[in-house]
Chains A and B, each alone.
Chain A
Amino acid sequence: MNPAITIAKKEYSLAFRSVTTYIIFILFLTATGFYFANTALKVGLAELRGVFGIIHLIFVIYAPAITMSAISKEQASGTFELLSTLPLKLGQIVWGKIMAAVMLLATVLVFTLVYLGLILHFGSGVDLGAIFAGYLGLLLAGAAYISIGVFASSLSTNQVLAFILGLAISAVFYLMQFITAFLPASLAGTLEFISFDYHLQNFLKGVIDTRDLLFFLILIVVFKYLAELKLQSRNMMQER
């Protein structure tokens, strides 16, 4: 088995031994459930776009939270030294960490299928295509935030600092949608392209565009590569 998958499986199963994981799950479902109850049940909209929007916002905090310890903890406790003397490549370690967090993210998304069930049961004219595309978009955007979070985790041995760094970088991509509103049209048009929301909206409409797919995939790979680069430099110039 590829070592990256071995690492991902271990990380994923260990996550469920930590109370934090359950707390984050509950907070996530409470927030989205509250929002769903407001839009779907009160207003009576048979769609999930609103909930997806909220989920996207929550991911900005959720992704750095589940990835903050990914590499920083291994480095702080010294287990990274153990890993780096095993027959592994740095890239495999980073992929393993990203995959584990994406699996965790997918798990929490599975719970939101309850909302889908509810609108399918009570509503009519549900656009299943748009919902499927929405889930795909969310998963990709989430994975990109996770890649950012894992990179941030490689920057510091302090988990709290890693979380703040991850949150800060993610926030730039998330808030770009609001920033562009204040900028001149020419600049806004260019910057819009790095806004996560800009790409996610296409998915939510039910449009799966290669440009949007590539945008997220490239971001995932770029931040994974940056983390790897950081670890390499640490390995070569470690101050200890």
Chain B
Amino acid sequence: MIEIKSLSRGFGHIRAVDKISFAVNTGEIVGFLGPNGAGKTTTMRMMVGFLQPEEGSIELDGKSIFADPISTSARIGYLPEHNPLYPEMSVVEFLAYIAALRKMPKGRYLERLDYVIDNCGLEGVLNQRIGTLSKGYKQRVGLAQAILHDPEVLILDEPTSGLDPNQIMEIRELIRELGQAKTVLLSSHIMQEVQALCDRVIIINKGRIVVDELKENLGAYMGNAQHLVLEVEADQPDLSDWSLLYPDTQLQEQTQHGNVARIKMLIPGENDLRRELSAFVVEKGWQILSIYAEKQSLEEIFHNLTMQEELPDPDMEPQTSPFAEDGIPSPGLESDATEEAK
């Protein structure tokens, strides 16, 4: 188990990471999400001891990682962002070099080498120079390096970035397998990845944790709203009657391809209106092609959460000033002024 407590780190004036605390348990795969510059990489760099935190602690099974950095590094496997490798070395030379630096005994190294060759699919490229490998293979070599010493904790900074869909599937499969016995923290900005792979999701924004929840519980952040998507055979169907019946409905999208119309609407509340909608469509004499409800995706939750954060930002206020400059005081400013006058 790796646990961080009120970890902070700044660069110049920017608070890259601001009092972050969380723990990752053994056998758990945790997705670390956030927009670019949210502080994911900085947090991970501190967790592997590459960056010194300004405050806070990082504990591996209750012991600070800085107490004994050498033994810490034996227990943590790390795949840095952008996957730095030595392009002049061949794959097997590189792995041998890492093993030598980790002082792995020869027998153990050979045993682990077999394991990573099998599991990272490196068989065909062992003697190829890393510089000549495709991005997908490089990523596998990076991952092989991270798991070569069979660490308990794996910290993977964007393990699937830049891979094609097949490669992503393979790497995910490997991570899922590793996650059964290990502690895995992986960062990503691809929501589907986290949805597919992780047990728990931590979303950070501007150096702070916005959400730390089991994947199943993320629903709480969605609100109960759902989308209804309707496809009917009709020419520019008019839904104003429907809006009269259910005034809460928000029409989000309406597209027309030939004589097929596709309509997407947002239904607030928990009501499932599919039955009512199909009855309505039949009554109108349109031909239903499909009708289905869509839950909000993790992507939308992510978008909402990371955008919400920006709303209370004091920087937003000056945006109302153009009104004042035009000589038309904004309602807010006016009330402020009258209050002050009293």
Kindly state the interface size class of chain A when it binds its partner.
20 to 34
Within 8 A of A (CB), among B165-220: none
Residues of A within 8 A of B81 (CB): 78
Within 8 A of B (CB), among A78-97: 78-89
Contact present for A85 and B49 (CB under 8 Å): yes
Contact present for B80 and A235 (CB under 8 Å): no
In the complex, whether A176 has a CB less than 8 A from a CB of chain B is no
Contact present for B48 and A85 (CB under 8 Å): yes
Contact present for B85 and A235 (CB under 8 Å): no
Q: How far is the CA of A88 from the CA of B74 in the complex (A)?
A: 10
Q: How far is the CA of A78 from the CA of B50 in the complex (A)?
A: 12
Residues of A within 8 A of B70 (CB): 87, 89
Q: Closest chain A residue to B89 by CB distance?
A: A14
Residues of A within 8 A of B76 (CB): 85
In the complex, whether A17 has a CB less than 8 A from a CB of chain B is yes
Within 8 A of B (CB), among A4-27: 6-7, 10, 14, 17-18
Contact present for A238 and B12 (CB under 8 Å): no
In the complex, whether A121 has a CB less than 8 A from a CB of chain B is no
Within 8 A of A (CB), among B49-99: 49-52, 69-71, 73-74, 76, 78, 80-82, 84-86, 88-89, 97-98
In the complex, whether A42 has a CB less than 8 A from a CB of chain B is no
Known pairs A1-B100, A6-B101, A7-B101; A239 contacts B11 (CB<8 A) = yes
**How many residue pairs, one in A and one in B, have C-beta atoms under 8 Å apart?**
67
Contact present for A85 and B73 (CB under 8 Å): yes
Known pairs A10-B97, A81-B50, A82-B145; A240 contacts B80 (CB<8 A) = no
Contact present for A240 and B86 (CB under 8 Å): no
Q: Closest chain A residue to B80 by CB distance?
A: A81
Q: Closest chain A residue to B93 by CB distance?
A: A10
Residues of A within 8 A of B303 (CB): none
Contact present for B84 and A87 (CB under 8 Å): no
In the complex, whether B19 has a CB less than 8 A from a CB of chain A is no
Q: Shortest distance in angstroms between A145's beta carbon and chain B's nearest beta carbon?
A: 25
In the complex, whether B5 has a CB less than 8 A from a CB of chain A is no
In the complex, whether A77 has a CB less than 8 A from a CB of chain B is yes
Enumerate chain A interface residues (CB-CB to B < 8 A).
1, 3, 6-7, 10, 14, 17-18, 77-89, 235-236, 238-240
Beyond A3-B100, A81-B80, A88-B101, 10 additional contacts (C-beta under 8 Å) are A14-B86, A78-B80, A79-B84, A79-B86, A82-B78, A82-B85, A86-B98, A86-B102, A87-B73, A87-B102
